Amino acid sequence: MFQRSPPSPCCQEFRPVGPPHRGAHPGNTSATDFMATIAEVLTISASKGYPWGTRIVDTDKGYRTTPQPFSNEGLVARKKPFVTGRASRFLRLSGLTGRVSSSYTGQRIKELFLDSDRADRSRSKTHLRNAERIVETLGELKGAVMKVGQYMSIQTDLLPKEFADVLATLQKSAPPVEYDLISSVITSEFGKAPEALFAHFDPEPHASASIGQVHRARLSNGTEVVVKVQYPEVDKNIEGDLSNLKTILSTGSIMGYRKSDLEGVFAEIRDRLYEELDYDLEMENLKEFRRIFSRDKRVRIPRVFPPYCSHKVLTLEYLPGDPLEALWEPPYTQEDRDRFGEWLFDLFAHQILRLGLLHADPHPGNFAFQKEGPLILYDFGCLKRIPPYIQEACRDLARCGLEGNYEQIDAALLRLGSRDPRKEAPDSEFYRRYLEVLREPFRPGVSYDFGESKIHERMVELAPLGVSKMFHFKPSRETVFIGRTIGGHYGNMLHIGAKACWRDLLEPYLT
């Protein structure tokens, strides 16, 4: 069974730590219902932070998990061959679609001969099998298709929530690849094997991700570093993976928008993917962020070592810190959680509304904490440069939302490209009901506890209202990664459990 490696200070993957969800959704056999149950099953593992491959067992009392103890030894044991050819990757993905589809066809036939209770039990087992198929296949393929799955897992405006929840399990570490493959990439880039380039290079992976793998190393002067190595031919598979994924997501109308409305979104994802694969660009991003935040004592960003960097290899200062879930263990206190929550909120409000340069990868693994130290920020492959007119529209949207100015909210959404001008504006009651939920953390003079937040649950309750006006809106290329970042950090704030008067922190950025 694959085991997750220790948290990496450069390329960590998301490990959700939220509240568990139990059981499955009873009901009809629609595609959304199937995916909802799969999401529930997978969330049991994801929310408890179990490693990739943790088996979920269906029992009379619900689902239980059988996690394995953490070890690097298990990490190596589950290494998988890396699938690179477009045809091979498409066959794997289309095969997955076929197996899941035929499984549910067989399940519907079986239910004709079962009473209600037995049908529910049988359906739950079918969902469980298919959940494992989805996660295993996309995780093993890695590359662009896994990265896009991660991107879209929190794009709730593009996918049904249930389907997005399934994709969210891809945020965990992927099975690593063989060391020979990593060594060959470094040798090709530098003309030297890792053992000759570095004073020490650990052949065991420190972390594995969708497009690369991280190893600990030491420079000749004794500096401890982490080396991020890109998997071979990932860049050659971007177009094929995007095309294949679009085909699969179109099956059964999973994505409910017009194909023409989605082209801009996929173009934005394609641009960010190519940027994430350019480690030369990530090195420059790191330098830029270090310069911008050089005087901000709340944030620490790793140094980069250019002589040991290339288009496919990135060598960074080893900056260890505690992961997000450690904030709930001693020596951390509520005061520490409040402080880190305020820093995180202010840091990203500043980036979106003032700086116009956004660290757009909100995985909890990209942040680490120190009891008496700063917030450590990792992974600068995915940045979004926000045009001034989008910043202005974001400020207007937030300000009008706080004021309850529904007409101007609609105007701001049109400027952001999120409202379809071909459709009439939703009535004020539509906006009022959503704002009633979204404004809750920003009540004047009130300290709001994100640890007690139920906003995500209340938004699910509003889903029927959202579906009724779905085609009044459309996905916006310019806000895909802004939305991803805000949604991801809502989850981070939820798990940090920070308390503060968030209205006081936000208002200075709205003028």
Q: Give catalytic residues, as residue numbers.
A: 361
Taking the CB of residue 64, how many other CB atoms lie within 10 A of it? 12
Strand partners, 375: 299, 369
**Backbone φ and ψ of 184, nearest 5°:** -65, -35
Strand partners, 201: 217
* Relative orientation angle of helices 406-416 and 388-403, to the nearest 10 degrees: 160
**Which residues, in sequence order, are CB contacts of 158 under 8 Å at separation 6+?**
152, 255, 257, 262, 265, 475
Report helix, strand and coil shares of the chain as percent, to nearest 5: 55, 10, 35
**Which residues, in sequence order, are CB contacts of 3 under 8 Å at separation 6+?**
51, 52, 53, 68, 69, 70, 71, 72, 73, 74, 75, 77, 78
Sign of CA dihedral 238, 239, 240, 243: positive
CA nearest neighbour of 96 among 23, 50, 145: 145
**Which residues, in sequence order, are CB contacts of 25 under 8 Å at separation 6+?**
33, 36, 37, 40
- Indicate the length of the chain as a whole number: 511
Tell me, rounded to whole angstroms, the distance of Cα 437 from its chain centroid. 23
**Tokens encoding 172:** 């965990």
C-alpha–C-alpha distance, residues 428 and 409, integer Å = 10
Sign of CA dihedral 382, 387, 388, 391: negative
Q: How do beta strands 299-300 and 375-377 pair?
A: parallel
Taking the CB of residue 256, how many other CB atoms lie within 10 A of it? 11
Q: Are 80 and 52 within 8 A, CB to CB?
A: no
Residue by residue, DSSP assigns 73-133 as: HHHHHT--PPP--HHHHHHHHHHHHHHHHHHHHHHHHHHTTS-HHHHHHHHHHHHHHHHHH
**Tokens encoding 389:** 């007119």
C-alpha–C-alpha distance, residues 432 and 429, integer Å = 5
